[in-house]
Amino acid sequence: MKIKHDKKESKFIFKRNGFAMAELLIVVAIIGILVDISIPIFNQQLEKSREAHDIYTMRAVAALALDYYYSGAVTKEGAEAIGLTWWNDGATNENAAGVYDPTTGKFVPVRTGVEKAYGKGTAVDGGMTYDMGNRNAYKNDADYTDAVCMISIYPKEKHIDVYWKKKDGGGNDFIGGYSNNKPLFSLQLPVD
């Protein structure tokens, strides 16, 4: 604060440099309100990007699975030659299955062949949806952080499923649930 003497009127004039305490408190309150509003929006956008990463991974895996299908992964010998596991229940259900390994860009036969889980989406709903016709491909309020992306190629049923499973889980630990040993949430591609 500066003090100046006015000789004409014989009085002192006080000049302030800076803000009063009330003004500072108002500014701090406004900043607090803005932060309080922006953090949930930021968290939702962050979750949306995690979900977009998972959906992008599914689409990339689907493209690779189509290449594998047309390269001969429709028989036991063909599937095993390119690193997939062949499943046969003795009836009509035959399929080649594998786990996508992002470090190599290829499939491995079992989940233990992948170094770590790479799913990003958490149980918070970021609002992303990815539907394939009448089928949901991605459950956006499920936790994918301990999951890996997998494929199943069904040559007799003429489709490929791309889905997520827990990396260190047992048989039917599909993210989003399952029915008849098949995922409820998967990217299902028809093939010729």
**Nearest-angstrom CA–CA distance, 43 and 52:** 14
pLDDT at 130: 74
- 166: Cβ contacts below 8 Å, ≥ 6 apart: 117, 146, 147, 148, 173, 175
Q: What is the pLDDT of residues 42-97, one digit of tens each?
A: 998 999 999 999 999 999 999 999 999 998 889 999 999 888 999 887 666 789 99
Q: Which residue has the higher pLDDT, 88 or 1?
A: 88
Q: Are 37 and 28 in contact (CB under 8 A)?
A: no
Kindly state the average pLDDT of the residues 150-176: 90
Determine how β-strand 182-183 pairs with β-strand 11-15.
Answer: unpaired
> Which of 148, 152, 158, 160 lies closest to 189, judged by CA?
160
Q: What is the pLDDT of residues 98-143, one digit of tens each?
A: 999 999 999 999 998 899 999 999 998 888 777 766 678 899 899 9
**Residue 181 pLDDT more than 90?**
no
Q: What is the pLDDT of residues 66-78, one digit of tens each?
A: 999 998 889 999 9
